[in-house]
Amino acid sequence: MIRNFFIIAIVAGLAAIFVTLFWNFGDSTTLTPLATHYADKGAAEVGAPNLVTSIVVTYRGFDTLGEVTILFLVASIVSFFLKREKLQKDIELKRETSEIILTASKLLVPIVMVLGVYVFINGHLTPGGGFQGGAIIATAFVLLLMANPDFKINHRIISIVESVSGISFVLVGVFGILLAGGFLDNKVLPLGTFGKIFSAGAIPLIYSFVGLKVGSELSNILSNFQGIQKEEM
Amino acid sequence: MEIIALITGFSLILIGLYGILSKRNIIKIIVGFSLFDTGLHVLIVTVGYIKGGTAPILDSVVGTTDVASKIVDPVPQALVLTAIVIGLGVTALMLAYALKMYQAKKSLDISDFKDMKW
Amino acid sequence: MNLISPIYIVAVSLGIAFFMGLLGNKAQRSSYLILLAALLFNTFVSLQWVFGLGSGLVEAMQVYTAGFKPPFSINLLMGLNESVITALINIVGVLGAIYMMSSLKKNGTGSQVVFLILFMSLNVIVLSRDLFNIFVFLEVGSIALAGLIILQKGTNAISAGFKYMLATGIISGILLIGIIFIYRFTGSLNIDSIITANPILKQGAFVSAFLIIIAIVLELKSFPANGWGLDVYEASHPGIGAILSAASATATYFVLYKIVDIAGSQLNYYISIIGVISFVGSNLLALKQENSKRLLGYSSIGQIGLLMIILGFKDILGENTTYVAFGILVSHYLAKAGLFWLSGIVKQKNIKGWAVIRKKPYFLFLMGTFIFALIGFPPFPSFFAKWTLVMDLVNTGNISWVVAILFGSMMEAVYMIRWFGYAIKGENEDIKDFKIDIYKIIPVGIFAVALYVVGYFVAPHTEVGTAINFIPLYFVAAIFILDFLPVIIKNTLAIVGMILYFYNIYPDLDNMRLIFEAIFMVGGILTLIAGYAYKGKRPGFYPVALLMYAGLTAIIEAQTTLQFFFGWEVMTAGSYFLIIRGKRSMPHGLSYMLFSIGGAYALLTGLGMAHVGHASFSMEILNGISYLPYLAYGLLIVGFLSKTAALGLHIWLPGAHGEAESDVSPMVSAILLKAGVFGIVLTLIGMGASNNQYSELAYALGWLGAITALAGNLMAVFQEDAKRLLAYSSIGQLGYIVLGLAMMTHLGWLGGFSYVINHFLYKAVLFLTIGAVVMRVGTHNMYQMGGLIKRMPLAFIAVMIGIIALSGVPPLSGFAGKWLFYNAILEKGWYFQGAIMFFSGGIAFMYLWRLIHTVFLGQLKDNHRNVKEISIWFLIPIYTLLAGIMVYSMKPQWVLQPLGNMIAKWFPEGQLQWVGETAISQYGQWAGSLVAITIMGSFIIVLVLLMLSTRKAHKVKQFDITYSGERPERPETTHVAYNVFEGLYKAMWPATIPLVEAWWNKITEILHNIADVTRRIYSSNGQVYVAHIVLFIIVSYLVIIGG
């Protein structure tokens, strides 16, 4: 009782701080100067119709590098954290996977994969991008795992995809310093025609690497959890 | 519009915090964190909202002229993407921790992990 | 000139990290080498910027993402500050990776990747100028750390890691709210443009800035919302502790430094408040801590608190901010990493277990270096930083801050020195020894050496630091390196070195300084001669003894207050090491050090107050202090009294002097105590000498001297231990000196100075002789001795002359002091104090009689039947000093006339008149030589007569007596010396209750109890820690925004 009261008091205290933010929030009818710059100059400077993408990949590309790193980091940690004294026994499952999932997975996995690739390749044109595409690809693996709990993801391939796409991302960034304005500059490739798939310089390339990397990292994390799950059952 | 989103965001954060503080089960605490994060993400997106604005994509509707008056702020949308991925990473690692903690003590009650004191 | 862009730190680290993912887990060996190469590359990049920017050859560099200018893109800035901080971080990276070699190899490529990414992220948060980018890489860093925590096996590491994730999760959530709303209210994420936009204009923006700053403050593990941090320090691999404390905290602190201005300067004051709470709170709670890694955690948090105080005061410290912050930061960085690494080698959880390094001098050297650097001793950078900080704070009227900071430092000194004491002197018989991995020792050694190097280069950067004379310290270092040589060589080197140094220095000194320098140096040389009596190598003795003398001479030579304080601290450190060498000296060494540090802090504050209103730091500023003069002079006097062991500050002395080695006791008694006297002389001259503007202070000092004299002598009477008896007697004698000086008259000072010289002579004789006797008979207890006159007649003669001189009866030199004293007291009109002096003089006879009677007269003990005369190496200095006493006694005018002329400079009134060899005062006259010759002549006549008349007397042998058949249960009670003053005790016992000791013990106990109760907030429950964090935010909000 006292504990609950105390917790509520703490939550209420934090709420009181939020109230100040809330009352001062005000209306907004115009963009910040920063956003206005992106809106007005983004198309010319970066050449991608999707302004969010131009910010994510180019203007704030450095954040994206951090994000990719976080996933990579978590994948690495989870792999050495959960791998210890792994038993790897195949245990009898309590019941068969249902027919619906089995069929659906066969049908859907290729389509989902293609969708993921589509989303990251078109990241500079339409809503979506490397992270979204990568996450979609990873869902295909989730589906596979659910359909077939013994399914073994080939770690070797995954880590090669993961590493190669990561290195390529960094390399494209470095080319930006050498050939264009700075680290992660997309103008290492020509900007091309605005609105076409091969445009916006290196953005589709970078987003493809990001998509592959995110997809493989998420799958990697998943497969590590799968490994330990067997141990627990 | 913003008011609803703001209230939702702040409420989710507070509910998440309540969960983190009150639930003893580690998995539930992690769920609390996810709520907390989601609230944050709602807030971030709300901050970028402009009355009457549309998605910041220069498609046929928006065109390429006078863009600034038609779209919502793209910056928070870029930020939220990063924030979501970070939240995902943190959650994954916390779950890995939860697994290990369960292995160590066969318990998911956080008050069973109080060996280091003072 | 083209330097490698800092962006390559990121690009190369990430590229290599991704590449290592390709290698797979089988290749840990080669991937470990790649990891080292990457970390070395990072270090190289930041170091070239340090040199480039430091020498002014290149300009600071901005890196723009994709070539767009901020605020439209993320930019990195590599300026001088950034280059130094990243260099520090990357160096820990390289050495940390070497230190953790086996762990990183064992855990495979994954752990190495995490390690590399951690350091990459720390570099980015230092370099980045974009709030959200800093957030992203802070997250990268915390996740990487959460990964590295579990390199240590066991549940503790896992649960600590989870708590760490909970805490940093909440903190980064708060940070993100702040960032997103500051974007809302200022329209930017770039630190520089937010600062230009000045967000305090808008209320919401200020709250956002508050949230951002408070989140970073919490990341720094501010007390008391830091239980999670402590758990991590305790549970993780010591290598990770080092990284957390040295690299991660450094980087986060720099983030705070960068962003603090986004709230204008409004939050600075509160950051200082949080800092001081952290500093004092953590150090206080650490008092009860016995787990070494957790203790280091407490200390780390405390040090960061100190750095936050400095940051909050940056507007006041002005251009000194960087210097002060760097000095504290780099000392903490090197020392804390070193101690964490050391804890991983020693492998002792409990600090008492560190006694395992007791017999390993190099380990003790490493540990001592780190600990003394942490508590701010010279020659380490923290010393100069603390000095500048205190000077500036006092100068701007922030005395209460100085008090708080010094109180926190004091607590830190308590537990650090206690820990070091366990390592030097603890019982180590049951402790398992450890094996030493070379690769683990290398980083520790590098950091220890770095502390000296950095200190050496930091010193000249203070305005006055350039003048510090390092020559004696070089000599100490040389002797330390030669420590493997036998005693005979080192002793000769030391003596020759001191002779040469004294010969070079004495022409530059004025008379007053020359007296003290002569006591220090000549006394030092004489006591060192006794060192030839020791066999073997006597490891560690010579460096520390010379360290003390180096400090003592630095005090005398000091032209500036900084030099003076430098010397004072060097002397303190040296004497501490000397004292703790004794057999049962651990607790006494600790209390000596604590009183010394407390005194030194009083001194430091006093010196700071003296500086107010002056541009210079010359010693002249002690004259006529204008800022709160009573307090300033009072603090200076208290500081110096801690060294003279005035009543109330004396409890360290008996143990420290009594338990010290035979030739160390005279060093720390006859010689060292005079350093305090020298300080009091300087202070009293500063107070205006004959003007005596602050007569109330002098009056109080006089009473303190009188009571100290009485108490010291009284306590000496009841001692059974010969060396403690002498130690208490020193307290009493110093009381006389203080009283004499406090009179602030010509005669008073003449008496005081004559006591200074006298006390040096006879106390050195007595301690040397008794020490040498103790070496022969193997006990300190007087009732276990007796009849030694037959075995050691030369020692007997020395003690006899010594006690006659001490007791102050004619014909020996002590009488001169007494005679001057009573004249001075009558002149001054302090009759009551005079009565006390007279009474305590009578008491002195009782213990002196006992010293000679029970040790040398009476029956010889069976087990002493074959002891030899004391060593010739002791007899040489003893008889040299005795010659000094005799000259002084026979020709007192040789000493007193020059002294009088010297004192006349300050006290021209009321001088003694000399007619030939006769001194004439207002109240009478005294012809020293005549009295001496007459009395000695009578004595010799009587002695000869007695010897002639007793030639036919029957000598009673020891067994010519008959017992009545009883066997005493406790044989020692039958000794004539045992409890000999029982009657007096019955009369005087209330005066002997160790009230002072009880008082200090009570204070210690109260502090420890507060620590013990308060630290229970760290319940080890992760949810409680989260609650602490949120509460911390709420309370800060209420105080800052609401208040």
pLDDT given for residue C985 in this prediction? 79
Instruction: Report the alpha-carbon distance of residue C679 to residue C676 in Å, rounded.
Output: 5
Instruction: Report the alpha-carbon distance of residue C708 to residue C646 in Å, rounded.
Output: 6
> What chain B residue is nearest to A4 in terms of C-alpha separation?
B22
> Using 50, 70 and 90 to split pLDDT, how confident is the model at C25?
low
**Highest mean predicted confidence (pLDDT) among C160-174, C348-362, C426-440, C572-586:** C160-174
Q: Taking a C-beta distance cutoff of 8 angstroms, is the pair C723, C657 a contact?
A: yes
Query: What average pLDDT does chain A have?
Result: 83
- Tell whether the model's pLDDT for residue C535 goes beyond 90: no
User: Residue C803: is it exposed, middle or buried by C-beta count within 10 angstroms (0-12/13-18/19+)?
Assistant: buried
Summarize the confidence of residues C166-181 as an average pLDDT. Answer: 94
Instruction: Report the alpha-carbon distance of residue C525 to residue C519 in Å, rounded.
Output: 10
DSSP lists the bridge partners of residue C721 as C781
In the three-class reduction of DSSP (H, G, I as helix; E, B as strand; rest coil), residue C915 is classed as strand
Q: Taking a C-beta distance cutoff of 8 angstroms, is the pair C170, C133 a contact?
A: no
Instruction: Report the alpha-carbon distance of residue C690 to residue C80 in Å, rounded.
Output: 53
User: Concatenated DSSP letters for C584-596?
Assistant: T-HHHHHHHHHHH
Q: Touching check for A164 and chain B: CB below 8 Å?
A: no
- Tell whether the model's pLDDT for residue C199 goes beyond 90: no
Residue-wise pLDDT tens digits, B90-105: 999 999 999 888 888 8
Q: Which residues contact C813 (CB under 8 A, 6 or more apart)?
A: C754, C758, C761, C762, C805, C885, C888, C889, C892
More confident residue, C39 or A143: C39
- Residue A88 belongs to what domain range? 2-232
Residue among C663, C725, C622 at smallest CA distance from C874: C663
Q: How distant is the alpha carbon of residue C908 from its chain centre?
A: 39
- ∠ CA C927-C814-C880, nearest 5°, is 105
- What stretch of H or E contains C919? strand C918-921
> What chain A residue is nearest to B17 in terms of C-alpha separation?
A11
Residues of chain B neighbouring A55 (CB-CB closer than 8 A): 74-75, 77-78
Residue-wise pLDDT tens digits, A56-113: 888 888 898 898 899 899 988 988 888 755 455 555 566 777 888 888 888 899 999 9
Angle between helices C80-99 and C28-54 (to 10 degrees): 150
Residue-wise pLDDT tens digits, C75-123: 899 999 999 999 999 999 999 999 999 999 888 888 999 999 999 999 9
In the three-class reduction of DSSP (H, G, I as helix; E, B as strand; rest coil), residue C291 is classed as strand
Instruction: Report the alpha-carbon distance of residue A113 to residue C689 in Å, rounded.
Output: 93
Summarize the confidence of residues C655-684 as an average pLDDT. Answer: 92
Q: How distant is the alpha carbon of residue B100 from its chain centre?
A: 24
Domains held by chain A: number: 1
- What stretch of H or E contains C264? strand C262-265
Domain definitions of chain C by residue range:
1-129, 463-942
Residue C139 tokens read as 């997250």
Cross-chain Cβ contact B18/A7 below 8 Å: yes
Q: Taking a C-beta distance cutoff of 8 angstroms, is the pair C714, C771 a contact?
A: no
Q: Taking a C-beta distance cutoff of 8 angstroms, is the pair B32, B110 a contact?
A: no
Q: Which chains touch A (3 or more CB pairs under 8 A)?
A: B, C
How, if at all, do strands C61-64 and C75-78 pair? Answer: antiparallel
Full-prediction pTM beyond 0.90? Answer: yes
User: Concatenated DSSP letters for C74-116?
Assistant: -EEEE-HHHHHHHHHHHHHHHHHHHHTHHHHHHTHHHHHHHHH
Instruction: Report the alpha-carbon distance of residue B82 to residue B60 in Å, rounded.
Output: 28
Residue type at C887? V
- List the single residue in A11, A22, A195 with the smallest CB-CB distance to B14: A11
Give me the total of CB pairs closer than 8 Å, taking one residue from chain A and one from chain B: 138
Residues of chain A neighbouring B17 (CB-CB closer than 8 A): 10-11, 14
> Using 50, 70 and 90 to split pLDDT, how confident is the model at C537?
confident
> Using 50, 70 and 90 to split pLDDT, how confident is the model at A129?
confident
Q: Touching check for C158 and chain A: CB below 8 Å?
A: no
CA distance A107 to chain B (A): 28
- List the single residue in B40, B75, B111 with the smallest CB-CB distance to C176: B40
Instruction: Report the alpha-carbon distance of residue C344 to residue C362 in Å, rounded.
Output: 16
- Tell whether the model's pLDDT for residue C468 goes beyond 90: no
> Using 50, 70 and 90 to split pLDDT, how confident is the model at C285?
very high
Least confident among B17-21, C103-107, C367-371, C691-695: C691-695
- What stretch of H or E contains B90? helix B74-105
How many other CB atoms sit within 10 Å of the CB of residue C807? 19
Q: Kindly state the DSSP code that residue C925 receives in the 8-state scheme.
A: E
Residue among C813, C816, C790, C792 at smallest CA distance from C802: C813
Which of A18, A54, A60, A64 would best serve as a mutation to test chain C binding (most C beta carbons within 10 A)?
A: A60
Summarize the confidence of residues C515-519 as an average pLDDT. Answer: 93
Cross-chain Cβ contact A77/C143 below 8 Å: yes
Residue among C544, C438, C526 at smallest CA distance from C483: C544
Percent of chain C with pLDDT over 90: 58
- What stretch of H or E contains C295? helix C292-312
Exposure of C705 in the CB half-sphere (CA atoms within 13 A): 31
> Using 50, 70 and 90 to split pLDDT, how confident is the model at A233?
very low
Q: Taking a C-beta distance cutoff of 8 angstroms, is the pair C765, C812 a contact?
A: no
Summarize the confidence of residues A23-35 as an average pLDDT. Answer: 82
Residue C52 tokens read as 């480039």
Q: Touching check for A164 and chain C: CB below 8 Å?
A: yes
Q: Which residue has the tokens 């002779």?
A: C499
How many other CB atoms sit within 10 Å of the CB of residue B112? 17
CA dihedral angle for residue C204, residue C209, residue C210, residue C214, rounded to 10 degrees: 150
CA distance A127 to chain C (A): 22
Residue B40 tokens read as 């944050």
Q: Which residues contact C76 (CB under 8 A, 6 or more apart)?
A: C6, C7, C62, C63, C124, C127, C128, C129
Residue C175 tokens read as 């940070």
**Cα separation of the two ends of chain A:** 37
Residues of chain B neighbouring A125 (CB-CB closer than 8 A): 57
Residue type at C479? I
Q: Touching check for A34 and chain B: CB below 8 Å?
A: yes
Q: Number of H helices and number of E strands within chain B? A: 3, 0
Q: How distant is the alpha carbon of residue C647 from its chain centre?
A: 21
Q: Touching check for A28 and chain B: CB below 8 Å?
A: yes
**Highest mean predicted confidence (pLDDT) among A132-146, C247-261, C772-786:** C247-261
Q: Which residue has the tokens 């206080």?
A: C284
Q: Touching check for C169 and chain A: CB below 8 Å?
A: no
Residue type at C854? T
CA-based R_g, chain B, Å: 20
Q: Kindly state the DSSP code that residue C248 receives in the 8-state scheme.
A: I
> What chain A residue is nearest to B2 in terms of C-alpha separation?
A27
Residue among C723, C757, C714 at smallest CA distance from C737: C757
> What chain B residue is nearest to A72 in terms of C-alpha separation?
B89
How, if at all, do strands C918-921 and C913-915 pair? Answer: antiparallel
Residue-wise pLDDT tens digits, C733-745: 999 999 999 999 9
- List the single residue in B37, B94, B110 with the smallest CB-CB distance to C165: B94
- Tell whether the model's pLDDT for residue C405 goes beyond 50: yes
Q: Indicate if the alpha-carbon torsion angle C288, C292, C293, C297 is positive or negative.
A: positive
Residue among C302, C296, C291, C158 at smallest CA distance from C239: C296
Q: Touching check for C445 and chain A: CB below 8 Å?
A: no
- List the single residue in A6, A24, A182 with the smallest CB-CB distance to C63: A182
List, in order of start, the domains of chain B with CATH numbers.
2-52+69-110 (1.10.287.3510)
- ∠ CA C242-C247-C253, nearest 5°, is 125
Instruction: Report the alpha-carbon distance of residue A65 to residue A43 in Å, rounded.
Output: 22
Residue type at A81? F
DSSP lists the bridge partners of residue C64 as C75
Instruction: Report the alpha-carbon distance of residue C732 to residue C709 in Å, rounded.
Output: 4
Query: What average pLDDT does chain C have?
Result: 89
pLDDT given for residue B64 in this prediction? 73
pLDDT given for residue C982 in this prediction? 78
Instruction: Report the alpha-carbon distance of residue C1037 to residue A12 in Å, rounded.
Output: 13
Cross-chain Cβ contact C74/A62 below 8 Å: yes
pLDDT given for residue C318 in this prediction? 86
Cross-chain Cβ contact B118/C158 below 8 Å: no
Interface predicted TM-score (ipTM): 0.97
Summarize the confidence of residues C910-934 as an average pLDDT. Answer: 86
In the three-class reduction of DSSP (H, G, I as helix; E, B as strand; rest coil), residue C503 is classed as helix
Residue among C236, C414, C222 at smallest CA distance from C302: C222
- Tell whether the model's pLDDT for residue C186 goes beyond 60: yes
- Tell whether the model's pLDDT for residue C462 goes beyond 80: no
